[in-house]
Amino acid sequence: MFLLTRSVDAWGSPDFLDVLKKELKQLKIDQLPLQKAISSGSYVLDEPISVVNVDAEERGERIQVRAGIFFQTVIAGCNCADDPTPVEKINEYCEIMLSLDKNTALASVDLSG
């Protein structure tokens, strides 16, 4: 769980989606469940993410947000001189579901679908 204070403050304004995307991009990689979402690589890189297809709605005291996340992974090898595993970045995608408490700005996140 983490705080998304600026996003909660922007809720209901035309700037909400932009503020939310910016705050999500500033999170540390391990704050999102990206390691669980890997489909091709084996390790999530600490690289900037892209946030797309954001959809949000109010449900009582919570803001429910579904967002698509593009991130990068690699297939981690042993880093030996004769390791044949190429170290190429792999683009991955997942969807997350955020639940923001409007009173505390505390956010919980899970993989969607």
- Cα-only R_g, the chain: 16
Q: pLDDT exceeding 70 applies to what percent of the chain?
A: 90
> Residue 66 sits in which domain range?
2-111
Instruction: Tell me the per-residue pLDDT of 75-95, one tens digit each, with 9 for 90 and over.
Output: 876 666 666 656 789 999 999
Q: Give CA angle at 15 (10, 18), nearest 5°.
A: 105
Instruction: Tell me the per-residue pLDDT of 44-81, one tens digit each, with 9 for 90 and over.
Output: 999 999 999 999 999 999 999 999 999 999 987 666 66
Q: Which of 68, 69, 61 is nearest to 11 (CA)?
A: 61
Torsion angle of alpha carbons 5, 9, 13, 16, nearest 10°? 0
Decide: helix, strand or coil at residue 42: coil
Q: Is pTM, for the whole model, over 0.75?
A: yes
